[in-house]
Amino acid sequence: MTKKRNPLLRLPVFWLSILVLVPAPFVAVLAVFINPIFREVSMLPIALGVIAYIWMLESVYLSCRPHWLDRLVGLPDMYLAHGLLAVFAFAISIIHRLELPTFGLAKTFGEIAFWSLLAMVVFSVLFMTRRLTDLIAPIRSFLMAHGPLIKHEIAVWLHRLVLITVGVTCVHFHLISYIVTVWPFIILCDAATIVVLGYYILFKIREHRPELQGQVISREMLADNICELTIHVPGINRNWETGDFAFLRLPDFKELREYHPFSMADAPNKDDNATFVIRGDGDFTILLPVFASPGARVDLQRPFGRYHRFIKEHGGGRPLVLYAGGTGIVPLLAVLDAYGSATNGRRITLAYSAKNESELIHQSQLRRWAERTGNTIMLKVGRFNDEELRAAVTPKAVYLLAGPTPMYRSVRHILRHEGVAASDIYHESFSF
């Protein structure tokens, strides 16, 4: 019998680890070996400086999207932690700066690090931590109005400001005499820095020399601004799970050389063909249907996602209830494909809405699937009302949500009000 793990413990353990358990050895080593005078007089602001630096290193590591961690907690939560670690590091660096004055070159590099970190935090909060800014109406409105004007490539380069901050901070504490003489701490800290920066460099090399390369084999416009691409990707099945998404780019075209994430509409298959349904909302997605003609070369990174893992963690026989909004249906199409056969005995209910008829994609296929399997679908142009959403609630079911953040919050509120446990609800936001 497989031991069941409590999914509610994943995120608390993840946050406990990155905020406390990882920085703790660095602070402990410094506290043990530092001159007793500094330990007694200034240990708190010194420790806060160390923690801020380690949090910045962790932020760099998380920006590399470690695949093993995605399968544990999900990429959206990793990106949330990536942004918040920078914010937390800046917050405690304020106390460090006020309570622990430095002089000469150490002060100069410290000031550069502080203001670089501030600039990076402002950028991260505004443009990279969308799960936070979605909750703040003025910022959300600004991004909705001006976000399409902000080139993704510019955002990527600005975000690398954290590397400058890490480098300058490293020089800063190497110029402080009572720190640099503590060799056990310096060795430990330098080793961590080298490992993280080395991992970052390796990540960038792999971006330009991807392990997965494919070719577009078909392109179809499902609506005026919705394109369906089928890409043949040899070897993708090694890491592909149902409901996953993948970062892809078209390296032969200057405008499409940065990676962007898109969900796959089908389940893993022996043909190594992955289908992406993409709505044209920004620079990349508007140009994609123009350049992604059959035969175009595509670079991909290993698939990410936790829909399949979430279903498996909740047992094999429980009913599935799927709520989808707009093109959020895409990963759930793969779930229907994998778990919705007429013979496996699993009951599925799908509630799928879109703001207009053209964006309610694959309606005929969904209706045929419901007739063939005996499962339930609810299709609607416009939003479901609360009563309609409650009608899909099923005893002992597992709930998968996919769509815009406002839809997710509304549906989750109703599910929780109906007594559905938080551990039985999963949403994979693309607001990162």
List, for residues 39-95, the tens digit of each pLDDT value: 998 999 999 999 999 999 999 999 899 999 999 999 988 988 988 898 899 999 999
CA distances from 170 to 53, 56, 181, 189, 398 (A): 8, 11, 15, 9, 47
- Which residues are bridge partners to 127 per DSSP? none
pTM (2 d.p.):
0.86
Share of the chain above pLDDT 90, in %: 51
Share of the chain above pLDDT 70, in %: 87
From the centroid of its chain, how far is CA 358? Answer: 28
Contact 45, 95 (CB under 8 A): yes
Contact 361, 278 (CB under 8 A): no
- Whether the pLDDT of residue 148 is over 50: the answer is no
- Whether the pLDDT of residue 36 is over 60: the answer is yes
Contact 393, 319 (CB under 8 A): no
- Whether the pLDDT of residue 146 is over 70: the answer is no
- Whether the pLDDT of residue 414 is over 90: the answer is yes
Q: What is the per-residue pLDDT for 139?
A: 58
Q: Which fold has domain 212-300?
A: Elongation Factor Tu (Ef-tu); domain 3 (2.40.30)
Instruction: Domain ranges for the chain, please list them.
Output: 7-208, 212-300, 307-427
Number of alpha carbons in the 13 Å side-chain half-sphere of residue 364: 2
CA distances from 320 to 277, 340, 354, 377 (A): 23, 9, 21, 12
Q: What is the end-to-end Cα distance of the chain in Å, rounded?
A: 37
The answer to whether the 212-300 and 307-427 domains have the same CATH topology is no
Give the whole-angstrom CA distance, residue 414 versus residue 432. 25
Class of domain 307-427: alpha beta
Q: Classify residue 247 by burial, with Cβ atoms within 10 Å: 0-12, 13-18, 19+.
A: buried
Q: What is the pLDDT of residues 296-311, one digit of tens each?
A: 999 999 999 999 999 9
- Whether the pLDDT of residue 6 is over 90: the answer is no
Mean pLDDT, the chain, integer: 86
Helix pair angle (104-123, 75-99), 10° resolution:
150
Q: What is the mean pLDDT of residues 329-337?
A: 91
Kindly state the tokens that stand for 86: 């920078």
